[in-house]
Amino acid sequence: MRSEPAPHTSPTALPGYAATGRIDELRATEYRHLDADGRVYLDYAGAGVTAQAQVRAHHDRLLAGLYSNPHSENPTSAAAGSLVESARRAVLDFFRADPAEYAVVFTPNASGACRLVGEAYDFGRTASLVLTWDNHNSVNGIREYARSARGSVRYVPLDGPELRVAESDLVAALDAGRGRLARRSRRRGLFAYPAQSNFSGVQHPLGWVELAHQRGYDVLLDAAAFAPTNRLDLSVVRPDFVCLSWYKLFGYPTGVGALLARRSALARLRRPWFAGGTIRAVSVQGDWHRPMDDESAFEDGTLNFLSIPDVEFGLRWLDSIGVDLVHSRVGLLTAWLLERLATLRHDTGGPLVEVYGPTTGAGRGGTVTFNLRHPDGTVVDERLVAREAAAAGISLRTGCFCNPGAGEGAFGISRAATRQRLLAGVDTIDKYLAALRLPTGGAVRVSFGLASTATDAERFVAFVQSTYLNREAGAESPLPPRLRC
Ligand SMILES: Cc1ncc(COP(=O)(O)O)c(C=O)c1O
């Protein structure tokens, strides 16, 4: 027996939707390429989409001027350098960061920003790394730097079906991480967490930055999933490090990210090497070098000087639309999607959709992760959903989204089960899942962003309903192996 239809049959009927109508205008003009071939784009957590104006601006700039390596001293080099510096100022403006307090280091992506911190942070034996389970692998990977410096690594678990973190667990981990030695030497540790989960969409409190500061920690805030649709105001929240990838905010350019860092925290980092552009002076025979004393000490080699100016364009573009407007639109679509998915029930009465994380729009962003179930309750393999969604022209993401900790929380995988010795010989994801006796290794993720419309959400729900409602488990054609976590 199917349950009652959701009260709002279309997101457009939701209060407040009409006020976000500017996004529909932009979709019909600047983002009209999204609608070529009847596609539905629902992978904004993977990458944002590019406005036509942004591509034009790049093209026009390159054809109107000449830009060369900013490390040289000539007019074309100065032109490139001045655009890069202007982009740095635009980044600080966008995040309302005081230039006296924050520096912008351009990196290849958010992962590159995490690596800069990890490899140069002084973990030593007395500083800990505290991480939430819910973290992208590019943040998880910092633990390897902490371990090789013999620092301690502590994870804060996820708690309950909403996949949030209990603040008491966080406080306990921070306090334990400080330890006896750390208290005596007043050495700091590093706490790293995402402002928004790329798995569940959960928004972890920004107030944890201050909480960790009070306990002597530096904070790395991963804003890669948060910044595209939420305002991050660094005059209010002051993490020591923030990592970002620009293509997630406005689609283009790829290959450019940033580490926003408090200058005081940057000054405490010790780089393990130097490269062209990062040093003021160096001697081969004397075997010494002097690093630059600003952000350029962290920018290895030649910056992507032809694309960094596109970051400034993108930020001004996003500002002209308004992050708050994008936030409202995404919030409405997310709440509607969750509401609709919850109404989908097989004739057996069993739910079609199991959402991992919050099932309402509160305290979350526009990323919704779930698995579909057959009427007998078995999971529809996410690779099948990927294949069938692709055939229907829908771009979504399946797998575990490089966030194994959130996946372990969502699928109830215990610590004991993941012990390395039990997993000897396990060298593929599929073998790992078999060893854990899991019915599936991943989930399906849809995410909304800057140019999302009601039609995108409606078409997705129609696809799920028409393809999977009352569909019995059966022999499917072979599915490809899972390649990565
Ligand atoms: C929350 C989060 N952090 C970090 C990253 C890494 O970003 P990139 O692959 O651009 O380095 C991602 C990418 O999806 C992410 O979602």
Per-residue model confidence as pLDDT tens digits over 98-124:
999 999 999 999 999 999 999 999 998
Are 113 and 185 within one domain?
A: yes
Residues in the chain: 485
Same domain? 220 vs 187? yes
Contact yes or no for 268/293 (Cβ under 8 A): no
Please state the φ and ψ torsions of residue 42, each to the nearest 5 degrees: -135, 40
Q: Which residues line ligand 1 (CB under 6 A)?
A: 109-111, 136, 138, 194, 198, 222, 224-225, 245, 257
Query: Whose CA is closest to atom 7 on ligand 1?
Result: 110
Catalytic-residue membership of 402? yes
Contact 388, 398 (CB under 8 A): no
- Out of 243, 400, 402, 485, which one is annotated catalytic? 402
Task: Indicate whether 18 and 129 sit together in one domain.
Answer: no
Question: In terms of C-beta density within 10 A (0-12 exposed, 13-18 middle, 19 or more buried), how is residue 456 classed?
Answer: buried
Residue 358: which CATH number?
Answer: 3.90.1150.10
Tell me whether residue 368 is in a domain: yes
Cβ pair 135, 403 in contact under 8 A: yes
Give the pair of three-digit tokens for residue 181.
């030695």
Contacts for 215 with CB less than 8 Å, ≥ 6 apart: 171, 174, 175, 178
Query: Largest Cα–Cα distance in the chain?
Result: 82
Distance (Å, rounded) from C-alpha 88 to C-alpha 206? 24
Q: How far is the CA of 172 from the centre of ligand 1 (A)?
A: 27
Beta bridge pairs of residue 40: 394
CA of 360 to the centre of ligand 1 (A): 24
Q: Domain ends where: 320, 348, 370? A: 320
CB under 8 Å to 53, separation ≥6 — which residues? 30, 313, 317
Q: How far is the CA of 136 from the centre of ligand 1 (A)?
A: 6
Residue 208: inside a domain, yes or no?
yes
Best residue among 245, 247, 445 to mutate for probing ligand 1, ranked by most atoms within 8 Å of CB: 245
Same domain as 387, residue 292: no
110 Cα: distance to centroid of ligand 1 (angstroms): 6
Beta carbons within 8 Å of 11's beta carbon, 6+ residues apart: 17, 332, 333, 336, 454, 457, 458
Could you tell me where the beta strands, DSSP code E, fall in 341-462?
353-356, 367-372, 394-395, 397-399, 443-447
Containing H/E element for 320? helix 308-321
Q: Which two tokens stand for residue 393?
A: 């022209």
Do 327 and 393 share a domain, yes or no?
Answer: yes
Domain boundary among 320, 350, 369: 320
Tell me, rounded to whole angstroms, the distance of Cα 35 from its chain centroid.
25
| Neighbour-count burial for 365-404, b at 16+ CB within 10 Å, e otherwise | bbbbbbbbbbbeeebbbbbbbbbbbeebebbbbbbbbbbb
Of 248, 252, 364, 400, the residue with max ligand 1 atoms within 8 A of its CB, to mutate for a pocket test, comes to: 248
Same domain, residue pair 158 and 212? yes
Query: How confident is the model at residue 484, as a pLDDT?
Result: 65
Asked if residue 84 belongs to a domain, the reply is yes
Calpha distance 80→13 (Å, rounded): 48
- Gap between the Cα atoms of 29 and 50, Å rounded: 12
Atom of ligand 1 nearest to the CA of 135: 1
Residue 286, in any domain of the structure: yes
Identify whether 210 is part of a domain.
yes
Q: Give the per-residue pLDDT at 163.
A: 97
- CA–CA separation, 321 vs 231, rounded Å? 13
| Ligand 1 mean position, distance from CA 3 (Å) | 38
What is the span of the domain harbouring residue 374?
A: 11-52+322-400+442-468
395 in any annotated domain = yes
Q: Which atom of ligand 1 is nearest to the CA of 257?
A: 10
Distance CA 33, CA 252 (A): 14
Q: Same structural domain for residues 356 and 298?
A: no
Predicted local confidence at residue 1, as pLDDT: 46
Residue 206 sits in the same domain as residue 138: yes
Residues of the chain with pLDDT under 70: 1-8, 178-187, 416, 419-424, 429, 436-439, 441, 483-485
Domain total for the chain?
Answer: 2
Q: What token pair was written down for 360?
A: 């309402």
What spacing in Å lies between the alpha carbon of 374 and ligand 1's midpoint? 32
DSSP state string for 316-360: HHHHHH-HHHHHHHHHHHHHHHHHHHHH-B-TTS-BSEEEES-SS
Pocket test for ligand 1, best of 138, 367, 484 (most atoms within 8 A of CB): 138
Q: Are 187 and 254 in a shared domain?
A: yes
Residues 289 and 348 in one domain: no
The reported pLDDT for the residue numbered 182 is 56
Note whether 371 and 444 are within 8 A (CB).
Answer: yes
Other C-beta atoms closer than 10 Å to the C-beta of 129 total 27
* 1: in domain: no
CB 457 within 8 A of CB 464: no
Same domain, 312 and 366: no
CA distance 196 to 222: 8
Alpha carbons 142 and 131: distance in angstroms, whole number: 9
Residue 88, domain CATH: 3.40.640.10
Q: For helices 75-94 and 308-321, what crossing angle results, to 10°? A: 30
**Is residue 433 situated within a structural domain?**
no
Domain termination residue (choose one: 254, 285, 320): 320
Q: Which of 237, 232, 174, 224 is nearest to 196 (CA)?
A: 224
Q: Which amino acid appears at position 175 of this protein?
A: D
Nearest CA to ligand 1 atom 12: 224
DSSP letter (8 states) at residue 471 = P
Tell me: do 181 and 249 sit in the same domain. yes
